[in-house]
């Protein structure tokens, strides 16, 4: 992910509200673990538009990143759910992946640092559930009656500048990360206009990376090294 899109990935995290009321949603996870969200793109271009990014959602570079993520499940000894997604902002987009993994915060940082280094990204983003955390993640579920471009346009109109769209067979889910917990009103407006169901969760949201790819690699290397020193004898990747 490009550093210029660091906050854009923020918006590529979850809209979690209900129409007319805000609800909190939890998914079952292993004891002592949390269901974390991660966002990482294989894209290194600066000028993709939304229709180009939609085409790239089935690209070879995306398939390679999916394989990288799947291989790391053996290292972390946990299932990693990977979803093709569209990172979208007001004047551009990029193909990206949404990852969900039951782990502690250090493990999700390690996972995303590995993927960010593998794909030479300037930044990756994660959300770690945490009671009383300073960030929100919102998840917005929408029927497939709207195209991705139509959803993006409505989100623009509601003032949701950065978001991640995950298409499914029967619905599209929009994820928005709200690092300062200041987007609630705009999210509620978007939910109403999209006739969507919404859910919210509090926690910690953070970007890992730097302004340049070289500096970001150093950050990833440090994250990876620190985790492996504190977790000796990790198993190898699945392949």
Q: Where are the domains of the chain?
A: 3-228
Residues 70, 75: Cα–Cα separation, whole Å: 10
Q: Return the pLDDT at 47.
A: 85
- Given a contact cutoff of 8 angstroms between Cβ atoms, the answer to whether 213 and 116 are in contact is no
Q: Return the pLDDT at 24.
A: 35
Largest Cα separation within the chain, whole Å, is: 51
Q: Return the pLDDT at 13.
A: 33
Q: Return the pLDDT at 105.
A: 96
Q: Return the pLDDT at 31.
A: 55
- Given a contact cutoff of 8 angstroms between Cβ atoms, the answer to whether 165 and 155 are in contact is no
Residues 30, 32: Cα–Cα separation, whole Å: 6
Per DSSP, which regions of 76-170 are E strands?
A: 80-89, 92-103, 123-129, 135-143, 162-167
Q: How many CB atoms lie within 10 A of CB 32?
A: 8
Residue located via tokens 């769209």? 165
Q: Return the pLDDT at 28.
A: 45
Q: Return the pLDDT at 18.
A: 30
pLDDT classification of 10: cutoffs 50, 70, 90: very low
Report CA Rg, the chain.
Answer: 17
59: its two tokens: 């690209």
* Across 57-84, average pLDDT: 95
Q: Coil, strand, or helix at residue 90?
A: coil
Nearest residue to 99 via CA among 119, 135, 142: 119
Question: What percentage of the chain carries pLDDT values higher than 90?
Answer: 80
pLDDT classification of 16: cutoffs 50, 70, 90: very low
Tell me the β-bridge partners of 124.
208
Q: Return the pLDDT at 80.
A: 95
**Residue 25 Ramachandran class (φ > 0 left, ψ -120 to 50 alpha, else beta):** beta
Any idea of the CA torsion for 74, 78, 80, 81, to the nearest 10 degrees?
140
Q: How many CB atoms lie within 10 A of CB 30?
A: 11
pLDDT classification of 6: cutoffs 50, 70, 90: very low
118: its two tokens: 């593998």
pLDDT digits (tens, 9 = 90+) for 137-179: 999 999 888 999 999 999 999 999 899 999 998 999 999 999 9
């Amino acid at each position: 992910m490009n550093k210029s899109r660091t906050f854009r990935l923020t918006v590529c995290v979850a809209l979690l509200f209900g129409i007319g009321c805000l609800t909190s949603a939890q998914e079952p996870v292993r004891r002592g673990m949390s269901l974390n969200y991660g966002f990482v793109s294989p894209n290194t271009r600066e000028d993709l538009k939304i229709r180009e990014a939609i085409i790239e959602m089935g690209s070879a570079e995306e398939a390679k990143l999916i394989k990288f993520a799947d291989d790391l499940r053996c290292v972390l000894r946990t299932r990693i759910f990977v979803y093709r997604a569209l990172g979208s902002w007001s004047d551009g987009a990029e193909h990206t992946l949404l990852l969900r993994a039951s782990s502690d915060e250090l493990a999700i940082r390690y996972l995303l640092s590995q993927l960010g280094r593998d794909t030479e990204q300037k930044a990756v983003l994660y959300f770690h559930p945490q009671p009383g955390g300073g960030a929100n993640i919102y998840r917005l579920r929408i029927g497939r009656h709207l195209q991705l471009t139509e959803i993006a346009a409505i989100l623009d109109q509601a003032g949701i500048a950065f978001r991640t769209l995950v298409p499914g067979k029967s619905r599209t889910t929009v994820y928005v990360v709200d690092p300062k917990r200041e987007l609630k009103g705009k999210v509620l407006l978007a939910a109403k206009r999209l006739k969507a169901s919404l859910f919210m969760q509090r926690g910690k949201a953070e970007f890992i990376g730097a302004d340049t790819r070289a500096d970001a690699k150093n950050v990833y290397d440090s994250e990876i090294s620190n985790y492996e020193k504190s977790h000796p004898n990790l198993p190898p990747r699945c392949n």
